[in-house]
Amino acid sequence: MNLLSTTPAVLVLEDGRTLTGRAYGAEGETIGEAVFVTGMTGYQETLTDPSYHRQIVVQTAPHIGNTGVNDADDESLRCWVAGYVVRDASRISSNWRATEDLEARLARLGIVGISGVDTRALTLHLRERGAMRMGIFSGEAASRPVSELLAAVTDAPRMSGSELASEVSRDDELVVPAEGEKRFTVVAYDLGIKSETPAQLAARGIEVHVVPATTPYERIAELGADGVFFSNGPGDPATADHQVAVLRRLLAERVPVFGICFGNQLLGRALGFDTYKLKFGHRGMNQPVLDRASGRVEITAQNHGFAVDAPLDGPVDAPADAAFGRVEVSHVCLNDDVVEGLRCLDAPAFSVQFHPESAAGPHDSRGLFDRFVDLMTKSRAAAL
């Protein structure tokens, strides 16, 4: 049995609201952007998703830790969250795959958290006031005056204007071999990529070269890539000028492109659309999205605080360059009409704002990887 900590902890939001609870995981202090995640499962994948870098995750599901953690479901090589907020932390782990208690892992990895918090009230507060900076303080740190803790929170950098992709990206190249017969070579920009993504590509006969965020266009040409993938990732897309420049070169050269999440925002910027920060973002495994071409509603896994500002009323010429041709919004969120995908009509490029690799989450959208394969197949045939 895992005896939960009785050490006092306090949560402080930048607007001055405070909540008290117990230390969960490591003791100490941490500050980040407060975001809530609506998934009822998949907490291990959430903790290891690089897109949560510098964010404190609030779990809306009340019971966390029931199934412990294992050595197979991590989506990267480390936990990226800045902190962790739960209501009812499980005292035991009950799953045949579990190798460790969640709290024990958080403590071992130095992730500062808090339990015993009314996460429903906190989520409603963030929905009303918007995502904001927040601090968790436990142990000796929690005994400091609240005014001092609040000052530490408000002194922390905001997410808007933060360039974070380079902080989570790998430093060297990684080759994930194709399963079975190799059909294509794809360069995948690691802007915070999750391990399931190259696995999904490899399962379709694609040799995947996962490359650093700063990789130049010339390296893509050297590798003879049939297509280029731009991953999910943290931070403000307005700071990603290098990747946007690469994307514009790819669009001009008619190289097939597929982007997800952060990659969707970068394709939007490359085409000439602006991006903006959402009030509280979309995070979880239950976000309904309409595919406007098929009329199909897909339940998607999402994690983003920024979105593309593109017109919903039909195709338009790409604002950045007429040579890129026409583009349309392909997917829309049914909760708030946020742009959830872009499709170029005269260039081989498309993107979605959600996570088709769905780790964790429903598999409704995994066919988008097949669509990328079709795009490369058509591009190769046209070049013959």
Q: How does pLDDT run across 354-377, given as a tens digit for each residue?
A: 999 887 778 888 999 999 999 999
State pLDDT tens for residues 58-80.
Answer: 999 999 999 999 999 898 988 99
Query: Can you tell me the mean pLDDT for 1-9?
Result: 77
275: Cα within 13 Å, side-chain hemisphere: 28
Q: Find where tokens 């990895």 sit.
A: 109
pLDDT over 70, % of the chain: 99
| The pLDDT of residue 5 | 82
Catalytic site positions: 261, 355, 357
The torsion angles phi and psi of 244, rounded to 5 degrees, stand at -65, -40
- End-to-end alpha carbon distance in the chain: 64
> Helices 241-253 and 262-271: crossing angle, nearest 10°?
70
| The pLDDT of residue 180 | 95
Q: What is the pTM of this model?
A: 0.94
Give the range among 114-123, 146-155, 274-283, 353-362 with minimum mean pLDDT. Answer: 353-362
| The pLDDT of residue 360 | 78
Task: Assign 41 a pLDDT band (cuts: 50, 70, 90).
Answer: confident
pLDDT at 2 over 60: no
State pLDDT tens for residues 260-294.
Answer: 999 999 999 999 999 999 999 999 888 999 999 99
Query: Can you tell me the mean pLDDT for 138-144?
Result: 95
Q: How far is CA 207 from CA 7, 113, 159, 196, in A?
A: 49, 39, 34, 14
| The pLDDT of residue 352 | 98
Task: Assign 1 a pLDDT band (cuts: 50, 70, 90).
Answer: very low
